[in-house]
Structure 1
Amino acid sequence: MNDPVRSTSEWYAVDAIDAIDSPALLVYKDRVKENIRLVKSMVNDVRMLRPHVKTNKMAEVCSMMLEEGITQFKCATIAEAEMLATAGAPDILLAYQPVGPKAERFANLIKAYPSVHFACLTDSEAGAKHINRVAGEQGIVINVFIDLNIGMNRTGIVPEKALPLVAFILSLKHVQLAGLHGYDGHIRDTDTNLRQQKSDEGFRRVAVLHGEIAKKYQRSLKIVMGGTPTFPTHAHRQHVECSPGTFVFSDWGYKHAFPDEPFEYAALVITRVISIVDEHTICTDLGHKSVAAENPLPRVHFLNAPDVVPSGQSEEHLVLRVANAAQYRTGDILYGVPVHICPTVALYDKAYVVENKQIVAQWEVVARKRSINF
């Protein structure tokens, strides 16, 4: 009888895995390629894609998207923006309002890459004024998107109150109004009809504001909407850029919450059994420091041990309840799908790249850093 824990026939099993210390992050390159192909097939025009790179944080993955004709990107940090610029991305939106020294860092990055079209978010007169002051001191103009709160209640100004902010931004000398940004990450319904309905309601508010700006100021602004859960609801809209991010690797949470989206697991973590505690308990080396810990247990699901039940976790340990601990040996490797891949990737300084069951490269998770050069 085939032992799933030690099987080498499954797609995720890696030859010579015993040479890789654990815990470790694995990226399956062919699956990344397929997920990029799939996301392209779900929009009418590749120019309407603006993927968010917070999930992968790797220049090599961004280069794979560039090779597929994706030229616009979104990011959350200055380090991610710098990673994109060094990879050759021509259009980068920092989906964050740069306050304090972050605005100066952003201005310095813009000056270092003059051929790149950069933009950032703002949601207030104070924020726009700060960006304008920093840009003026640096002798540049910074493009901004107004960050709209359409239900996430995290950042942004509600669309119905945004017209005075539009007027204020247009009065500034060193800020150029480029677009509107609406992130509807609160919409997570598995029912596709309900997801579309809620997405339409949020987008309508953005569209009304867009129309008012066009009528009053004769400006047709860009619109950037959505994340991986909602980008299919925006993909059919005219002149709306979609911003999926998690799609590139996928994870347990999204794959089970949104079964209509076809993306496959392309990044896993490996862990080893380090102790057999008793007849129903084992312990592995996948602690808080190795997999995203913001969700309740289970935070990871093991492809080659689907019936184990996590019972406790600390910084360096994950305790698992099993039917029969005699089936496991210390040193056994478990291949895990994180519930949330984005913060999991950020816990690793490198990823092992897998092709045809072989480790073929190591990619630095370069943008996990708070800063690279800027």
Structure 2
Amino acid sequence: MENWFEVKNSDCIASPALLLYPDRITRNIRLLKRMVANDTSRLRPHAKTHKMLEVSKMMIEEGIEQFKCSTIAEAEMLALSNAKDVLLAYQPVGPNISRFLKLIQEYPNTHFSCLLDNVESIKNVNFQAREQGVKTSFYLDLDVGMGRTGASIKDNEKLWNCIAEQDSLLLEGIHGYDGQINNVDASIREKEADSGYDLLKHAFDYFQEKCTYPLKIVVGGSPSFTRHAERPNVACSPGTFVFWDWGYSQKIPEQGFEVAAVLLTRVISVINEHRICIDLGYKAVASESPLPRVKFLNADDAVPVLQSEEHMVLNVNDSNEYPVGTELYAIPLHICPTVALYDKVAVITDHQKVKNWQVVARNRMLNI
């Protein structure tokens, strides 16, 4: 019986390579929608995982209109996909302020907003927007426990006094990212998500009382999505769901997404009776985590013991089972930075490579 991941015409794919399976991607998108009762207004998926026009369009075709991203290039990629609403979930500084404002002017069919978390940035973006004759929107980024970016709720009054003075910048809502939540125990994750949401809601209530129009809430990533999906008044921002990976399949199995991105690698050397080397180095799979950084789908006995830029050494039970040229299929531990290592991916349908998709937003700059 064929394994779902195997490619019959793999001789046309140079390794290492990243393979995508569109049928599985579609099922993941539809599962995401079911988790919010098919109310796509409660979804704002993060594009940092896939960085591709084609995948963005697959979500748009399923009725998802709002997106989140981390770079100007990802924001432009989403605009080129005809996304209606794009949140740059990264505070623009330096030249990226003018690039962000140019996006607004060049792509009028897409509504853009960004994150801001301090008085100086609010003033800087407003000043440049006024100078360019642009009106723009932002979400106030709140620190809900990660300690990476975001304002403290202690600064609510100071921030509001500044926001109220701006003439070219509109507060659209409140944003909180709880990336520190990753416990395998779902009950612990639920409590941590509730705690962060309480902080966010406290800030939201403060600013909503000041505003004469309704504000929005954008919250969470993948591990906390299970809990935030139950809140009818927020937009959730998972990203990994679209491809899934080995790390989250172990940490948050209750979400039930399918792996839709697989690495193809080949044996390049047989070292001894228990050790082989494959062409899957740092440059081919995310390497920020300790070994093992992949889960092999067709080599249960393979254990990574060493990795360098172009090589990964594996211990196996019997290297005679893995002659040079043997194809191995592996799920990365962390898919998001793995995708960013490839300029194109091989698209697999019915066990056949049918085309390539460009990972366009891995570039730091597209047109703007």
Residues 1:26 and 2:22 aligned together: no
| Structure 2 partner of 1:146 | 140
Structure-1 residue corresponding to 2:10: 17
AA of the residue aligned to 1:333: E
Aligned runs of 1:73-92 on 2, under 5 Å?
A: 73-92=67-86
Query: 1:284 is matched by which residue type in structure 2?
Result: I
Over 3 Å counting, the alpha-carbon distance change for 1:160 and 1:220 in structure 2 is farther
Q: Which residue of 2 aligns with 1:133?
A: 127
The answer (yes or no) to whether the contact 2:42–2:232 under 8 Å persists in 1 is no
Q: How many residues align?
A: 367
Contact kept? 1:160, 1:205, Cα under 8 Å:
no
Mapping of 1:1-374 within 5 angstroms? 9-44=2-37, 45-374=39-368
Letter in 2 for 1:263: F
AA of the residue aligned to 2:13: I
Mean alpha-carbon deviation: is it higher for 339-348 or for 128-137?
A: 128-137
Question: Match of 2:180, SS?
Answer: coil
105-114 or 165-174, which moves further after superposition?
Answer: 165-174
Kept in 2, the 8 Å contact 1:213–1:220? The answer is no
CA contact (8 A) 1:170 1:177 kept: no
How far the C-alpha of 1:69 sits from its partner, in A, is 0.2
Between 1:343-352 and 1:196-205, the stretch displaced more is 196-205
Are 1:160 and 1:209, in contact at CA under 8 Å, matched by a contact in 2?
A: no
Q: Once superposed, which parts of structure 1, at least 4 consecutive aligned residues long, lie more than 6 Å away?
A: none
Q: TM-score, normalised by structure 2?
A: 0.98
Structure 1 position 219, deviation (Å): 4.1
C-alpha separation in 1, matches of 2:300 and 2:18: 19
CA distance in 2, matches of 1:167, 1:17: 61
Identity of aligned residues (%): 52
The DSSP-based 3-state class of the residue aligned with 2:250 is helix
Taking the aligned partners of 1:210 and 1:177, their CA distance within structure 2 comes to: 11
Please tell me whether the aligned partners of residues 149 and 182 of structure 1 are also in contact (alpha carbons under 8 angstroms).
yes
Secondary structure of the corresponding residue to residue 330 of structure 2: strand
Give the TM-score of the pair, scaled to structure 1: 0.96
1:82 to partner: Cα distance: 0.3
Q: Given residue 19 of structure 1, which amino acid in structure 2 is its aligned partner?
A: C
Contact kept, 8 Å, 1:163 with 1:209, in 2: the verdict is: no
Shift of 1:361: 1.3
Structure 1 unmatched ranges of 5 or more: 1-7
User: Is residue 82–residue 109 contact of structure 2 (8 Å, CA) maintained in 1?
Assistant: no
